[in-house]
Amino acid sequence: MFPIIRYGLEQKGDKNINSINIDNVDNSINREQVLLSKINERLAGKRKQRQPAEKVSVEVKLKKQKTERKYEERTTVSIESKRHASSSSAIEGLNENILEAFPRFEIPKKTAAEMAISKRLGITDWIAHPITIDPDKTVPVDKKDNEGDERFGLSKELIARCKALGITEFFAVQLAVIPILLSSRSLLNTHHLSPPGDICVSAPTGSGKTLAYVLPIIEILSKRIVTRLRALVVLPTRDLVTQVKETFEAFCKGTDLKVGVITGQASFASEQAQIIGNNENNLRLLGGLSKIDILIATPGRLIDHLAITPHFTLQHLRYQDWLPHVLKAIQSCTQTQKIDNNNDDGAYYNKENNKNHKELQSQLIADYDLSSSDFLSKEIPIHDAVCSATSVLGLPPTDISDIQEPFVQKLLFSATLTRNPAKIASLQLTNPRYIAVQLPTDDQKQGQLQTEIKYTIPSSLKEYMIITSSSEKPLVVLHLLHNYHVSAVLCFTKSVESAHRLSKLIQFFEASFSNDTGRSSNNDDKDIDEKQIVATEYSSDLSKKERIKILNKFKAGKIHILICSDLIARGIDLDCVDTVINYDVPLFMKKYVHRVGRTARAGRAGEAYSLVETQEARHFKEMLKKANHLDKVKKINIKHELLAPMEQAYQNSLTSLKDYMTRGKSSVINYQKSYDE
């Protein structure tokens, strides 16, 4: 049910016909918009080729397939394209023609009552009517469509790369998003006429959102000729940046696309050197100094580079994972060009903002100790090129004097997408579409607005809550570790300090318990409940090297439980995780969704246990109820007798912990040994 658009020149008698086919059109996709873009593109192409005024005939074949019956409708639209006609009047003319001639069907009409509800709730219209796709839908990656074309328009090379990396089927979110992003690829040369719409995607944790944008971005950018920064992905943590970089690099193999990261883990100067070339001649010859096509960044470091790295520009961006500062930077590119487009050295700077930039620059230069770097120049920011993105894609070059608004397609992906009208408004989305990977809600089934917040949790996840006292929580964790068949656990606490204490306590317990029972941490042949549990904390206090080392041991099964604050609650993809424990329950549903979503990823099974202190139970249940999720979380009671066999070792470990906390690490046995070796 996605639009497959084909268009080309057809010979009809002595006339050339531009034909556009749109097959299997989903109702919720704005067909007119798609069609209009295609026609605009044709007309723009003709204008760019300086062709004389002529009649452009556009034949529209609209095929719609229904399950029970097939029918085809054909409409021909003839459009007069006048030479030198302004693009906006051409669009208006086209709009009228097309809207009249184009058959419309099944776009749900809102009743007055629905509109009133939507207005009262402040829900943006396009959010209230998402394009939904069943989370369990998958399709083989090399499935051909009726015409024998590769599915989704992904190149054979990229499909082969998917298969080489073990991707044999596309997941629901990829089925929904890839065709939409690829359908706007040809809009690259008509951005001033009709930019592609932005998209917001809400899909469960572990459902494959990363590939849903990585594949189309690579597919489209791989056709570029000159390296320029065209895609920017902004992610909240360094670990996530590393993860997404690895995904991009794995799928970029075989193309000459280059991926860079800025996270603050390398020195500022080396990050600058990684993303921007320093040869002024390059700037003149190639119209740009970017060394990378795709940049993945954490927000803070990105802002710093925007402020002080010369020639670092977002003016060629085609895609961005949205961020307000990015938006500002893109807008300032346009202003910069408007102010300074007679500057003859090929570099532009924004005079209006220069004062503030200079203040910020001095501060950052001092912060990063960059005063001696000859990489910096006085005028900040300097954008690195003079022509727009269009000319490097093998399309007709753009006239430099013809200032155009840069267009950027904003792609917003989340498992907990906001529906807050104020937040949505601040995104400044253009012609947005909302794709939700979820079964239709009861509201939608009845053809009504989706008014309630609904987070979709992976169907393969089993969720439990255990109501207990604060003092018994560590024992409950130990009980789960020893008596439930868990092998790779992420345990979330409310703070780094709390993670530290719990991991120490488990280490002391295991030493005492194994002395009692003669168990060994190296006995890999035995079930987890028969061997010593290896626990360690994973926190932002650790260096990158230490974190990588710990994660590798965890993946190899040498560490059984990682105790962490929320550092890795979002986005991190560790396919070995079979259990999540909420040692301290989150106060907000969003956090709950992200935490429990570290397991049951990519269709695998997983379990999540929330340890709820008696006084927290009411709030926790209310939070779940509000999100329509209370009945999904099963309550389990752990009888006190079940904990009794561990009681003695637990008391010993409490004493050791007390000793450790008061006298410091040195007085305590080296429990780290088990995972440091």
Ligand X SMILES: Nc1ncnc2c1ncn2[C@@H]1O[C@H](COP(=O)(O)OP(=O)(O)OP(=O)(O)O)[C@@H](O)[C@H]1O
Question: Which residues lie near ligand X (CB under 6 A)?
Answer: 167, 169-171, 174, 203, 205-211, 415, 571, 573, 575, 597, 601-602
| Distance in Å, CB of 540 to ligand X, minimum | 19
Half-sphere exposure of 64 (CA within 13 A, CB side): 12
Token pair recorded at residue 25 = 């059109």
Query: What is the DSSP-derived secondary structure letter of residue 78?
Result: E
Least Å from the CB of residue 169 to ligand X: 6
Give the residue with the Cβ less far from ligand X, 217 or 478. Answer: 217
Q: How many helices (H) and strands (E) does the chain have?
A: 23, 21
In angstroms, rounded to a whole number, what is the distance separating the alpha carbons of residues 401 and 57? 31
Shortest Cβ 130–ligand X spacing (Å)? 17
How many whole angstroms separate alpha carbon 415 and alpha carbon 297?
20
Which residue's CB is nearer to ligand X, number 328 or number 555?
555
> CB-side exposure of 457: number of CA atoms within 13 Å?
27
Calpha distance 489→510 (Å, rounded): 16
| Closest to ligand X by CB, 139 or 376 | 139
In angstroms, what is the minimal distance from the CB of 246 to ligand X? Answer: 10
Shortest distance (Å) from residue 259 CB to ligand X: 16
Alpha-carbon distance of 258 to 638, in angstroms, equals: 53
Cis bond before residue 130 (omega within 30° of 0) = no
Residue 106 Rama label (left phi>0; alpha psi -120 to 50; beta): left
Q: How far is the CB of 211 from ligand X (least distance, A)?
A: 5
> What is the SS3 assignment for 636?
coil
Considering the complex, state which of residue 208 and residue 288 has its C-beta at the smaller distance from ligand X.
208
Strands 169-170 and 139-140: antiparallel
Computed from CA positions of residues 434, 439, 442, 445, in that sequence, does the dihedral angle turn out positive or negative?
A: positive
Q: Identity (one letter) of the amino acid at 363?
A: Q
CB of 456 to ligand X, least distance (A): 11
Q: Closer to ligand X at the Cβ: 141 or 475?
A: 141
Neighbour order of strands in the sheet with 561-564: 535-538, 561-564, 489-492, 579-582, 606-613, 461-468, 633-635
Rg, C-alpha atoms of the chain = 29
- When the beta carbons of 220 and 461 are compared against ligand X, the nearer one is 461
- For residues 273 and 239, the answer to whether their CB atoms sit within 8 Å is no
CB of 494 vs ligand X, minimal distance in Å = 21
Is the Cβ of residue 380 or residue 551 nearer to ligand X in the bound state?
Answer: 551
Output the smallest distance, CB 671 to ligand X, in A: 32
Cβ closer to ligand X: 210 or 398?
Answer: 210
Q: DSSP letters along 549-560, please?
A: HHHHHHHTTS--
Nearest distance in Å: CB 656, ligand X? 36
CB of 179 to ligand X, least distance (A): 15
Q: Running DSSP on this structure, what letter comes out for residue 389?
A: G
Min dist. Cβ of residue 386 to ligand X (A): 37
Provide CB contacts within 8 A for 667, sequence distance 6+.
Answer: 659, 660
Query: Where would I find the beta strands (DSSP E) of 212-335?
Result: 231-234, 259-262, 294-297, 319-321
Tokens of 591: 């956090």
Closer of 170 and 312 to ligand X (Cβ) = 170
Task: Supply the DSSP symbol for 185.
Answer: G
Contact 128, 202 (CB under 8 A): no
- Provide the minimum distance between the beta carbon of 209 and ligand X in the complex, in angstroms, as a whole number: 3
- As measured in angstroms, the least distance from the Cβ of 244 to ligand X is 8
**Quick one: CA torsion of 572, 575, 581, 586, rounded to 10 degrees?**
30
Q: Which is nearer to ligand X, 178 or 561 (CB)?
A: 178
Based on CB atoms, which residue is closest to ligand X, 461 or 624?
A: 461
Hunting for tokens 């040869």 — which residue is that? 279
Structure tokens at 281: 């001649």
Q: Residue 464 forms beta bridges with which residues? A: 609, 634
Residue 101 or 250: the one with the smaller Cβ distance to ligand X is 250
The whole-angstrom distance between residue 292's C-alpha and the CA centroid of its chain comes to 20
Non-local (6+) Cβ contacts of 515 within 8 A are none
Yes or no: say if 382 and 348 are a contact pair by the CB < 8 Å rule: yes
Least spacing, CB of residue 105 vs ligand X, in Å: 32
Residues 6+ apart with CB under 8 A from 629: 455, 457, 589
Type and span of the H or E element at 250:
helix 238-252
118 or 414: whose CB is closer to ligand X?
414
CA 132 to chain centre: 18
Rank residues 203 and 633 by Cβ distance to ligand X and give the closer one. 203
Nearer to ligand X, 171 or 509 (CB): 171
